[in-house]
Amino acid sequence: MKILVAGFERFPGVDSNPTETGVRSVDQWAKTNGSIELVAEVLPVEFESAGRRIVELVDQVKPSAVICFGVAAGSPAFLLERCARNMDDAVIPDNAGAMPSTQVIVPSGPATYSSSLPLNAIHHQLQKADFPVEFSDDAGAYVCNHVFYVACHELAVRSLQIPCGFIHVPCPCRPRWTTARRWTA
């Protein structure tokens, strides 16, 4: 069984992204523990290149599951994302300077994809370990949602019915920008 685990590099307004550190730790653990094959990747915080890279990884790795992580700046809890929306709508530029506004990700794609991760079981395990956790129906409109949607779409196009989803991790960091939206990357 191969599990593809992806996180992100730092994004504008936040000094560090704990998912980058987490994915690098998972990668080191996977190299020393042969019980589960984990393929860990830190994605760029760039709409186009992160979307392309997740498609390449699905093609190269042929995973049994895809789990992506992003940071929810200022969130006190893990956010188990239930759906990805077919819309990019950035309020700040990505690391390449792109700032799409109400842009459809896949013109022929459905409006949303649902997570196929066992979210109830993940919620239970996080609660059991005394981590704050919530369900979320909004993965944002930044690179996190983009990668989540593209990964789900790629699996659907390939008719691969494997678990795929997105989890935002809490970050006590306060972004250096302000917006009415909950901002995630």
168 flagged as catalytic: yes
171 flagged as catalytic: no
Q: How far apart are CA 168 and CA 7, in angstroms?
A: 10
Active-site position among 46, 164, 168, 171 = 168
- Range 121-147 average pLDDT: 95
Share of the chain above pLDDT 70, in %: 85
- Range 90-96 average pLDDT: 92
pTM: 0.88
pLDDT, averaged across the chain: 87
183 has pLDDT over 90: no
Alpha helices in the chain (DSSP H): 18-32, 47-61, 119-128, 143-157
29 band by pLDDT with thresholds 50, 70 and 90: low
- Range 67-74 average pLDDT: 88
- Range 47-66 average pLDDT: 97
Domains observed in the chain: 2-171 (3.40.630.20)
pLDDT on residue 176? 44
Active-site position among 68, 144, 152, 171 = 144
Give ∠ CA 45-77-27 in degrees, rounded to 5: 50
Place of tokens 């860990």: 40
185 has pLDDT over 70: no
Active-site position among 41, 81, 153, 154 = 81
pLDDT on residue 113? 98
Do 162 and 155 form a contact (C-beta atoms < 8 A)? Answer: yes
Residues contacting 31, CB < 8 A, separation 6+:
none
